[in-house]
């Protein structure tokens, strides 16, 4: 049996703690979500979370779309990348860039982003 790494153990635990922990304010989220997304995510993932394609290979994404990803998955991914930054366990430049982007986000900011991003694909 393979030993469970700290990362694999902590991600589900922290995700559950964030979701069940409460303290989430939808009004506060609506006010800050756009600014937070613009500051943290827009450059790579696009205005509406549509992702960005490679210039040399337009059929392939350089930065994946995020607007069709479920809130829970987004939160798990942000937690994973934040932990990668703290432990310096990223394996390539994309992982490092994403880890660097989320490294300073608070738990509430991650929850706000995770709730907001799926709505981007529904905006006009």
Q: Sign of torsion, CA 104 73 91 38?
A: negative
> What pLDDT score does 121 carry?
80
> What pLDDT score does 122 carry?
79
Q: What is the pLDDT of residues 113-123, one digit of tens each?
A: 999 999 998 76
Asked if pLDDT for residue 31 goes beyond 60, the answer is no
Asked if pLDDT for residue 10 goes beyond 90, the answer is no
Please tell me the distance from the alpha carbon of residue 111 to that of residue 87, in angstroms, as a whole number.
Answer: 22
Asked if pLDDT for residue 72 goes beyond 70, the answer is yes
What percent of the chain shows pLDDT beyond 90?
A: 70
| 113 close to 74: Cβ distance less than 8 angstroms | yes
Q: Name the pTM for this structure.
A: 0.72
For residue 57, how many other CB atoms are within 10 A of its CB? 9
Please tell me the distance from the alpha carbon of residue 10 to that of residue 55, in angstroms, as a whole number.
Answer: 37
Sorted by where each starts, the structural domains of the chain and their CATH numbers stand as: 6-120 (1.10.760.10)
Q: Which of 39, 89, 47, 81 has its CA nearest to residue 66?
A: 47
Please tell me the distance from the alpha carbon of residue 74 to that of residue 111, in angstroms, as a whole number.
Answer: 9
């Amino acid at each position: 049996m393979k030993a469970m790494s700290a990362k694999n153990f902590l991600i589900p635990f922290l995700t559950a703690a964030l979701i069940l922990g409460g303290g989430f304010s939808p009004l506060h989220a609506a006010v800050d979500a756009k600014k937070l997304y613009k500051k943290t995510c827009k450059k790579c993932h696009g205005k509406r979370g549509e992702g960005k394609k490679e210039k040399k290979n337009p059929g392939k994404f350089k930065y994946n779309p995020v607007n069709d990803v479920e809130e829970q998955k987004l939160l798990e991914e942000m937690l994973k990348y934040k932990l990668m930054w703290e432990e310096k366990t990223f394996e390539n430049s994309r992982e490092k860039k994403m880890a660097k982007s989320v490294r300073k986000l608070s738990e509430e900011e991650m929850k706000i982003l995770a709730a907001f991003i799926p709505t981007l694909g529904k905006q006009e």
